[in-house]
């Protein structure tokens, strides 16, 4: 009698989406034989937790690539798959090399259905057909309003390569998608190479014609790097010799001499993504001698490149658009009298043909679409809905006012032009000239003489050189700045041992306890009489420890203490600091910029003063509000100040998510909840560098980063059970891959072993930024077991104990790593859900 063959059991809700593309629920052991028959190359898990070891082992044994994308379990309240995640999944799905592919969520219904709906949109299906298919797999055979709106407004950019399956567009390549942003690098390159400068077919002209300035710039970059790489590598340090090398490299380019002007330098660094690390030395050269700046040269360049001159009106419009896309066009201390229009026009001119600018345009287009969607949603707000919202929001206002805390004394200390100030201190010749710390590709900070010309931190150095031809560069010396920072932090610790360092040159101190305990010794400096203070305050005592102060006197005492802090910093470093004093961190941070340089500002500790201050404050000055949020608030709701923010509060709750709306309401009242000091949740290190694609060089960079990260973990006595590899490619797209570990790691070798494996899986890559992040932190003492302990236990005489040790040690051997992919969060705005 023949044995019955095991049944082929498909996962729940299994179905074929397209040839080689399948969907369903989370597969279990009983489904693996069925899946094996499909000959899968890829499995995409869209679930809240990493896949189980059973699924990971199955994929490993079958040589199937397993991708995990985080998404909460479906709820009827909102769509749990972010648009960015859906876009990443689609880019995997529409590559033939990844098929056959099985995509699943927990139950194979709504979460998977969202991804398939977006795929159908990419395939140009009608909305009716798309939603009808979606409803076939949902529990109630219906679609939620949020799901329908998600499909309608989905606008993430999708990259479709030449490897797209034939079923995507029935074998036809769509050059312009009607409803989505589709980027097809191979078609764009082919189009550029198939035409000559006059727009006619190019019958084999090799590589001296380009369709766009971007293509031309990239060609120049490749040839320039090839011509100069070996020369610079063999050069002896010294500005004159390096200048000669650069000049010789430029001579090797098969281009007219006019292309060697400043436009070349500008587009060269932008398009190549050639941003060095802030911790690496920059070439100490003045490129002005090899790159002319006069009007005749500029006109010659424009004529040679075939560029059309913009009218003043067009230039102004382009500059205005530029201001919304680049952070380095925003104000900074010392830039009050700068001609903003001129700065924006220069930035536009110097970057308009770069990859970064093109990405900024795409990002800006997404913001425009978002603003348009918000306006449409706002138009649906009825008077009845508005009244109901206003009542609900006003109830929140009452709660916020009831919980407003005015009892704390918070100070934010910000060093003035820190890197530049250190260099000027060490070299007095730099004090009276425009100075930038960094290089031609990126500026870390500038002094006030440079800021008068509009040159500031985060700006590419070649743009700074155009704004201020006499700008002098010095390389970044991070070890020196960290030594100075340690001296400054020692001063902070005397006043608040638990102070929070925002960066190497900025920190927040809570002086509440220090003021209460030590106010007597500062009364004279604050202009107070001990007798008057005792009489006016009533000197109520709580167990003989805490003495109360009137609000005005508390402000005066705090001001005196902060003056002392700033003086001590100057005494030990010869550097000046500015400070802001207020009742919470948000306000103190804003105030620290009010009297720069070498000043301080105290915002009165009363509710009336706080509300008056925030009412007239531009929204861009508020911590967490960047260029994107400012644009959305300006254009969708005509909000420009904190007062506008409060006046439009019910509309904010109508068009933003609840989390964002609550945050904006708290901001409009300057009543953000006080941040509790909690243990750090992660450590990370990142480096930027010239574009690299050599695997060995990338691995070397990864090793350097892991060494630095291991030192950070050692200082904190922490180990990590999750390691992430973070990177940014030459298109400025940022992403991360992470792995969860059974045992915590902390050594440089262990961090590198995990990080380099994540890197290896992504190769080939061309990168301009790399980072490693350690999270899921545990104490070293309790979260790890040393090899010495294990050996000692294994050598003991008790056989039962040895077996227990062996079993426990085996349990801690990591399973096949589960790689998790995600778009990284780059800004406070995105962290706040804005």
21, part of any domain: yes
> Within this chain, do residues 614 and 564 fall inside the same structural domain, yes or no?
no
**153, exposed or middle or buried, with CB in 10 Å at 0-12, 13-18, 19+?**
middle
Please, which residues have CB within 8 angstroms of residue 438's CB and are 6 or more apart in sequence?
278, 282, 444, 445, 461, 473, 475, 476
- Global pTM? 0.53
pLDDT (average), residues 637-661: 91
Say if residue 43 is in the same domain as residue 134.
yes
Which strand (E) or helix (H) includes residue 756? helix 748-762
Same domain? For 352 and 394 the reply is no
Q: Is the pLDDT of residue 541 over 70?
A: no
Query: Is there a domain that residue 733 lies in?
Result: yes
For residue 596, pLDDT beyond 50: yes
Q: Which residue has the tokens 């369903």?
A: 24
Check whether the bond before 343 is cis (ω within 30° of 0): no
User: Is the domain of 422 the same as that of 525?
Assistant: yes
User: Hey, which residues does 774 pair with through a beta bridge?
Assistant: 683, 723
pLDDT higher at 169 or 532 = 169
**pLDDT band for position 89 (50/70/90)?**
very high
Same-domain check for residues 308 and 415: no
399, 501: one domain: no
What pLDDT score does 511 carry? Answer: 95
Based on the fold, state whether residues 656 and 702 are members of the same structural domain: no
Residue 187 included in any domain: no
Q: What is the 3-state secondary structure (H, E, C) of 676-720?
A: CCCCCCEEEEEEEEEEECCHHHHHHHHHHHHHHHHHHHHHHCEEE
Q: Residue 233 above 70 pLDDT?
A: no
pLDDT digits (tens, 9 = 90+) for 450-465: 888 888 887 888 888 8
CA distance 818 to 504: 35
Whether residue 780 is found in the same domain as residue 820: yes
Residue 625 belongs to domain spanning: 378-406+606-678
CA distance 735 to 729: 9
pLDDT score for 266 = 33
Same domain, 634 and 691: no
* Stretch among 358-367, 392-401, 493-502, 548-557 having the lowest mean pLDDT: 358-367
Cα-Cα end-to-end distance for the chain: 67
The residue assigned the tokens 């929070």 is 500
Residue 81 domain-assigned (yes or no): yes
Structure tokens at 377: 């949603």
CATH at 548: 3.30.70.270
The domain tally of the chain equals: 5
Q: Which CATH number covers residue 808? A: 3.30.1490.100
Provide the Cα torsion 236, 242, 245, 247; round to 10°: -170
205 in any annotated domain: no
Residue 167 lies in a domain: yes
pLDDT digits (tens, 9 = 90+) for 260-307: 333 333 333 323 333 333 233 232 223 232 233 333 333 333 333 333
Cα 464 to Cα 449: distance, rounded to the nearest angstrom: 12
Do 301 and 342 fall into the same domain?
Answer: yes
Q: What is the pLDDT of residues 330-368, one digit of tens each?
A: 455 666 667 777 777 777 666 666 666 667 777 778 888
Helix (H) or strand (E) holding 466: helix 461-467
Residue 658 lies in a domain: yes
Contact 445, 461 (CB under 8 A): no
Tokens 């009892």 belong to residue? 407
Annotated catalytic residue 506: yes
Given the residues 147, 276, 506, 555, select the one marked as catalytic: 506
Q: 171: exposed, middle or buried (C-beta count within 10 Å: 0-12, 13-18, 19+)?
A: exposed
Last residue of a domain, one of 620, 647, 678: 678
- The mean per-residue pLDDT over the stretch 83-112 comes to 93
Write out pLDDT tens, residues 769-817. Answer: 899 999 999 988 655 544 444 445 445 545 555 555 555 444 444 444 4
CATH number for the domain that contains residue 673: 1.10.150.810
pLDDT of 531: 52
Q: Is 673 in the same domain as 526?
A: no
Neighbours of 174 (CB within 10 A): 18
Q: Which residues does residue 413 pair with via DSSP β-bridges, in sequence order?
A: 507, 579
Packed helices 340-351 and 262-272: angle between N→C axes, nearest 10 degrees: 70
Residue 171 confidence class, pLDDT cut points 50, 70, 90: low
Give a yes or no: residue 467 inside a domain: no
pLDDT at site 112: 95
Confidence of residue 217 (pLDDT cuts 50, 70, 90): very low
Residues 594 and 628 in one domain: no
């Amino acid at each position: 009698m023949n044995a019955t063959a095991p049944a082929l059991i498909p996962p729940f809700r299994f179905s074929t989406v397209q040839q080689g593309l399948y969907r369903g629920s989370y597969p279990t052991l009983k489904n693996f034989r069925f899946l094996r028959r499909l000959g899968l190359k890829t499995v995409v898990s869209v679930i809240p937790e990493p896949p189980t070891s059973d699924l990971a082992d199955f994929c490993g044994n079958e040589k199937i690539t397993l991708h995990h994308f985080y998404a909460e379990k479906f709820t009827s309240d909102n769509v749990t798959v972010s648009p960015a995640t859906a876009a990443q999944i689609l880019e995997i799905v529409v590559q033939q090399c990844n098929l056959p592919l099985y995509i699943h969520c927990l139950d194979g219904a709504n979460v998977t259905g969202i991804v398939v709906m977006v795929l159908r949109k990419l395939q140009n299906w009608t909305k009716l057909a798309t939603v009808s298919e979606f409803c076939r797999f949902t529990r109630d055979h219906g679609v939620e309003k949020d799901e329908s709106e998600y499909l309608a407004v989905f606008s993430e950019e999708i990259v479709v390569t030449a490897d797209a399956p034939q079923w995507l567009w029935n074998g036809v390549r769509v050059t312009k998608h009607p409803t989505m942003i589709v980027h097809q690098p191979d078609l764009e390159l082919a189009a550029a190479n198939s035409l000559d400068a006059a727009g006619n077919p190019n019958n084999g002209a090799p590589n001296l014609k380009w369709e766009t300035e971007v293509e031309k710039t990239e060609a120049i970059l490749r040839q320039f790097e090839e011509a100069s790489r070996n020369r610079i590598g063999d050069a002896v340090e010294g500005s004159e010799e390096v200048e000669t090398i650069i000049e010789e490299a430029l001579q090797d380019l098969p281009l007219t001499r006019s292309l060697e002007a400043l436009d070349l330098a500008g587009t060269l660094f932008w398009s190549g993504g050639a941003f060095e690390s802030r911790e690496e030395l920059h070439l100490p050269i003045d490129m002005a001698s090899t790159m002319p700046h006069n009007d005749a040269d500029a006109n010659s360049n424009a004529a040679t490149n075939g560029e059309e001159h913009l009218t003043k009106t067009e230039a102004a419009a382009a500059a205005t658009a530029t201001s919304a896309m680049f952070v380095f066009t925003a104000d900074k201390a010392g830039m009050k009298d700068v001609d903003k229009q001129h700065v924006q026009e220069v930035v536009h001119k110097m970057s308009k043909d770069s990859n970064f600018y093109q990405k900024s345009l795409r990002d800006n287009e997404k913001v425009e679409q978002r603003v348009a969607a918000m306006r449409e949603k706002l138009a649906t707000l009825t008077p009845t809905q508005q009244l109901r919202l206003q009542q609900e929001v006003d109830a929140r206002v009452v709660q916020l006012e009831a919980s407003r805390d005015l009892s704390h004394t918070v100070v934010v200390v910000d060093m003035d032009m820190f890197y530049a100030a250190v260099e000027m201190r060490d070299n007095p010749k730099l004090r009276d000239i425009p100075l930038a710390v960094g290089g031609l590709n990126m500026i870390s900070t500038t002094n006030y003489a440079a800021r008068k010309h509009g040159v500031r931190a985060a700006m590419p150095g070649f743009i700074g050189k155009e704004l201020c031809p006499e700008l002098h560069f010095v390389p970044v010396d991070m070890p020196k700045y960290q030594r100075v920072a340690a001296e400054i932090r020692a001063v902070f610790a005397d006043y608040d041992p638990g102070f929070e360092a925002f960066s190497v040159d900025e920190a927040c101190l809570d002086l509440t306890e220090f003021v209460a305990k030590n106010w007597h010794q500062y009364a004279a400096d604050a202009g107070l009489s001990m007798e008057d203070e005792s009489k006016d305050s009533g000197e109520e005592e709580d167990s003989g420890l805490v003495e109360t102060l009137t609000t005005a006197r508390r402000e005066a005492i705090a001001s005196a203490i902060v003056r002392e802090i700033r003086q001590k910093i100057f005494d030990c470093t010869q550097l000046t600091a500015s400070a802001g004093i207020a009742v919470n961190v948000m306000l103190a941070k804003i105030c620290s910029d009010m009297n720069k340089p070498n000043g301080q500002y105290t915002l009165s500790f009363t509710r009336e003063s706080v509300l008056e201050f925030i009412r007239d404050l531009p929204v861009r000055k508020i911590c967490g509000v960047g260029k994107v949020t400012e644009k959305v608030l300006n254009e969708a709701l005509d909000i420009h100040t904190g007062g506008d923010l409060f006046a439009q509060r019910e509309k904010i709750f109508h068009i933003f998510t609840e989390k964002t709306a609550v945050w904006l309401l708290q901001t409009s009242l300057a009543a953000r909840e006080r941040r509790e000091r909690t243990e750090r949740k992660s450590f990370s290190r990142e480096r930027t560098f010239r574009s690299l694609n050599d695997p060995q060089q990338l691995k070397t960079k990864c090793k350097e980063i892991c060494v630095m990260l291991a030192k950070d973990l050692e200082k904190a006595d922490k180990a990590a059970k999750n390691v992430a590899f973070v990177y940014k490619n030459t298109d400025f797209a940022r992403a991360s891959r992470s792995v969860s570990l059974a045992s915590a790691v902390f050594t440089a070798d262990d961090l590198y072993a995990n990080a380099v494996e994540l890197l290896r899986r992504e190769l080939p890559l061309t990168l301009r930024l790399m980072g490693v992040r350690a999270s899921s932190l545990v104490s070293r003492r309790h979260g790890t077991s040393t090899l010495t302990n294990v050996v000692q236990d294994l050598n003991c005489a008790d056989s039962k104990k040895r077996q227990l040790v062996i079993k426990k040690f085996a349990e801690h051997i990591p399973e096949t790593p589960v790689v998790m992919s995600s778009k990284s969060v780059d800004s406070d705005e995105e962290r706040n859900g804005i």
